[in-house]
Amino acid sequence: MNAAEFTFVVWVASFLAGLLGALTGLGGAAILVPVLTLWFHVHIHYAAGAALVSVIATSSGAAAAYVKEGYTNIRIGMFLEIATTIGAVVGAYLATKTPVEGIAIILAVVLLYSGYVSGRAQPEHPEGIRPDPIAVTLRMPGSYPTPEGLRWYQVSAVKTGFGLMFGAGTLSGLLGIGSGAVKVLALDQAMKLPFKVSTTTSNFMIGVTAAASAGVYLHRGYIDPSLAMPVMLGVVAGSFLGAKLLARAKTQWLRRVFAVVIIVMAIELIFNALTGRL
């Protein structure tokens, strides 16, 4: 495979990853890092560096569309960014000190959990939520568009969500992914946000988190422009299409497909790490 063919194939893979990531809210980088590592034989640090660049581009692109359409809760996103940014710097530093096999196994575990979260049924409109006093004080409750008109929602367990977001940021910096699964755990399960609000708010947040991590990767020389460029362009294109399709997509079916894909990749990552093939 020559350079032009490699660039095109990487772009196609990145496009599909960005499309799935935007529709499920779990992030295309969760697919990209294992794909680049296992199928294209890219060193995991360079794969993570390219994925972080794509995450920044995804957030800058798709998130703008989500904000315009009224899904994203900007107040929640900005508040939780404090935790994810600090975690991202910590994680990026740890990435330079952790063996490649260790990073691969941690990534595989995160992917397996992502698959579990993705495959579970999620209520589209959570009911009976007791509002958190912190959320009320910071005016976090909001509304989002539905076919029946605007639907209002409450926000719960802000402290728990903040702590989980620190963990999500650390994983993002360590693995070069958006840590969508942990963000979904915080936004969907702890804070009880509606699925489409948590999906879009997660996309809004990951750009700042990735930018904090990418600075460390750039300083270490792990961002290769010849790899990062097709990855970024593919993910941006896929994410824009995903943003357009989200409102009418059957998200639960897509999450199950996403779950199968990343579970297979997780198993392959563990096998390659344990057999010294990375």
Rounded CA-CA distance 257/132 in Å is 34
Give the model confidence (pLDDT) of 55-107 as tens digits: 887 776 667 777 888 888 999 999 999 999 999 889 988 988 889 889 889 98
Q: Is pLDDT larger for residue 90 or for residue 120? A: 90
Q: Which domain holds residue 107?
A: 3-274
Q: Give the residue carrying structure tokens 């575990």.
A: 109
pLDDT at 125 over 70: no
On whether the CB atoms of residues 202 and 187 are closer than 8 A, the answer is: yes
Structural domains in the chain (count): 1
Give the model confidence (pLDDT) of 154-185 as tens digits: 899 899 999 989 988 898 888 877 666 677 67
Rounded CA-CA distance 64/56 in Å is 12
pLDDT at 122 over 60: no
Rounded CA-CA distance 98/103 in Å is 7
Give the confidence band of 117 by pLDDT, cuts at 50, 70, 90.
Answer: low
